[in-house]
């Protein structure tokens, strides 16, 4: 799977991190691999890296396309309830049957998360992410101008070691003609802790809810698993299936998250 260097990077990080003693702080809580965000911040003065390989497959109007990318998120805690974020899909390669392949780099996004409130009896944990996508990528992947978005997430702890997360939000995009349009987004995820280290989840996600003229709605059903290797390292995987013709038919991701 593209890129070939990822397994070596993952193994090196994993080998180093699993030798570290368990940290006194709470275990790592990454945003990935599902669409619905965590509400937690990484903690004052801490760095966290969340990286992965993503493979997508799609067939639209008889044209088959395979896309490979490396979604990566860097998080830094500037306070007990605030973190800064830099995110990108990284190196991206698209293979289309009967056409030349495209390769380049996706746009980067900068943002911040505010942990609004902790969970308490009768109320969820809440987090708010404000983000701006920047036109920094290669020509084939570059968006038009700065595109802001806002996401609000609530998390509830349920009986039987289960949890429920709900994300909603809105953003602004621009089409190829540089015309501005708005879109909504939403997602709901149900998680289950199998053991203290292993967890599974299922999710319905709509990263874009828009008019047909603006690209329409993208919607997926996802299922995956996470493995907490240590308090500072987590591995994950997820399979996503598209629910309409505007969504990729299938996507598979394998990821690694760790605190520095």
3-state DSSP assignment of residue 117: strand
User: φ, ψ for residue 213 (rounded to 5)?
Assistant: -65, -20
The band of 106, judged by pLDDT with boundaries at 50, 70 and 90, is very high
**Among the listed residues 59, 164, 69, 151, the one whose alpha carbon sits nearest the alpha carbon of residue 107:** 69
Q: Report domain extents, the chain.
A: 6-259
Predicted confidence (pLDDT) per residue in 123-174, tens digit:
999 999 999 999 999 998 899 999 999 999 999 999 999 999 999 999 999 8
The answer to whether the pTM exceeds 0.85 is: yes
* DSSP letter string, 23-78: PSSPPP----SSSSPPS----BT-EEEEEEEEEEEEEETTEEEEEEE--EEEEEES
Which residues fall within 8 angstroms of residue 7, CB to CB, at 6 or more apart? none
CB 173 within 8 A of CB 146: no
Predicted local distance difference test score (pLDDT) of residue 5: 43
Sort 15 into a burial class: Cβ within 10 Å, 0-12 / 13-18 / 19+: exposed
The band of 13, judged by pLDDT with boundaries at 50, 70 and 90, is very low
Residue 21 reports pLDDT greater than 70: no
Q: Dig out the tokens for 91 from the structure.
A: 């190196």
Peptide bond between residue 76 and the one before it cis (omega within 30 degrees of 0): no
Question: Strands 250-259 and 47-60, how do they pair?
Answer: antiparallel
Which CATH number, 2.70.98.90, 3.40.47.10, 2.40.160.40, 3.90.230.10, labels domain 6-259? 2.40.160.40
Residue 41 reports pLDDT greater than 60: yes
Predicted confidence (pLDDT) per residue in 26-40, tens digit:
789 999 999 999 999
Residue 19 reports pLDDT greater than 60: no
Where does the chain show beta strands of DSSP type E? Answer: 47-60, 63-69, 72-77, 82-88, 91-96, 102-105, 108-117, 125-134, 147-158, 162-174, 180-193, 198-209, 218-230, 233-242, 250-259
Which residues fall within 8 angstroms of residue 63, CB to CB, at 6 or more apart? 96, 97, 98
């Amino acid at each position: 799977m593209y890129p070939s260097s990822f397994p070596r990077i993952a193994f090196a990080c994993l080998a180093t991190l699993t030798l570290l003693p368990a940290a006194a702080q709470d275990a790592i809580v990454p945003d990935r691999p599902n669409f619905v965000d965590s509400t937690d911040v990484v903690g004052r003065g801490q760095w966290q890296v969340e990286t992965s390989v993503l493979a997508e497959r799609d067939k639209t109007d008889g044209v088959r396309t395979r896309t490979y990318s490396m979604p990566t998120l860097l998080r830094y805690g500037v306070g007990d309830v605030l973190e800064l974020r830099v995110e990108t899909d990284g190196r991206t390669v698209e293979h289309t049957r009967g056409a030349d392949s495209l390769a380049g780099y996706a746009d980067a996004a900068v943002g911040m998360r505010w942990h609004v409130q902790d969970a308490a009896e009768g109320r969820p944990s809440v987090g708010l992410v404000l983000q701006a996508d920047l036109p920094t990528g290669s020509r084939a992947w570059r968006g038009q101008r700065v595109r802001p978005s806002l996401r609000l997430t609530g998390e509830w702890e349920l009986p039987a070691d289960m949890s429920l997360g709900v994300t909603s939000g809105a953003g602004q995009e621009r089409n190829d003609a540089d015309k501005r349009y708005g879109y909504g987004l939403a997602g709901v995820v149900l998680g289950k802790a199998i053991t203290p280290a292993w967890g599974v989840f299922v999710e319905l996600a709509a990263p874009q809810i828009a008019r047909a003229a603006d690209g329409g709605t993208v919607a997926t059903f996802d299922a995956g698993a996470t493995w907490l290797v240590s308090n500072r390292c987590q591995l994950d995987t997820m399979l996503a299936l598209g629910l309409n013709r505007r969504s990729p038919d299938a996507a598979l991701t394998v990821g690694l998250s760790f605190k520095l």
